[in-house]
Amino acid sequence: MPIPLVAALVRARSAALILAVLCSSAALAKDHQWKDAKVIDITSEKGGAVVVPIAALVGVPKTKTFYWIQTEDTIYVLGPAFTKRQRLNVTLYEPTKVAIDGNNAHILDDYGKDRKMPVVEKITRPKPREPQ
């Protein structure tokens, strides 16, 4: 009879471990403070070449894509995105949500997916002057 008792203890320990892992990952997840934003520009620049071995060594041009995101008080330049996988699926001049986390920004793409990109520049928007 000791074998079923050992099996039950192993199952209970495994269940407790799984529960602890699930709870700790939920506790580590950050709640971002989302701000309303708008994609005001998407720019690309050619930036050198990458050598790719395709039957022979071939130079492929490298393009950097930057995203200009405007909030109520700041314009953020996000990027660079080098590959199609890194590029954001956002629509120019359409609203979105952004959350700043240190030197990174979390942006919601057109599918509502949270995408993380580095912030390369911050520009403070000038305050409108009040009439005198």
What pLDDT, on the 0 to 100 scale, is given for residue 127? 81
Based on the fold, state whether residues 26 and 39 are members of the same structural domain. Answer: no
Based on the fold, state whether residues 56 and 112 are members of the same structural domain. Answer: yes
Based on the fold, state whether residues 81 and 104 are members of the same structural domain. Answer: yes
What pLDDT, on the 0 to 100 scale, is given for residue 62? 83
SS3 33: coil
CA distances from 78 to 2, 19, 93, 110, 118 (A): 61, 37, 15, 16, 6
Q: What is the DSSP letter of 83?
A: S
* Domains contained in the chain, number: 2
SS3 26: helix
pTM above 0.85, yes or no: no
Residues 110, 91: contact at Cβ < 8 Å?
A: yes
Based on the fold, state whether residues 25 and 41 are members of the same structural domain. Answer: no
**Residue segments in the chain with a per-residue pLDDT below the cut of 70:** 1-3, 6-10, 12, 14-30, 49-52, 55, 59, 132
Domain boundaries, position 15 = 1-30
Query: Whose CA is closest to 90, among 100, 102, 79, 101?
Result: 79
The 10s digit of each residue's pLDDT in 12-42 is: 676 655 655 555 444 444 688 999 999 999 9
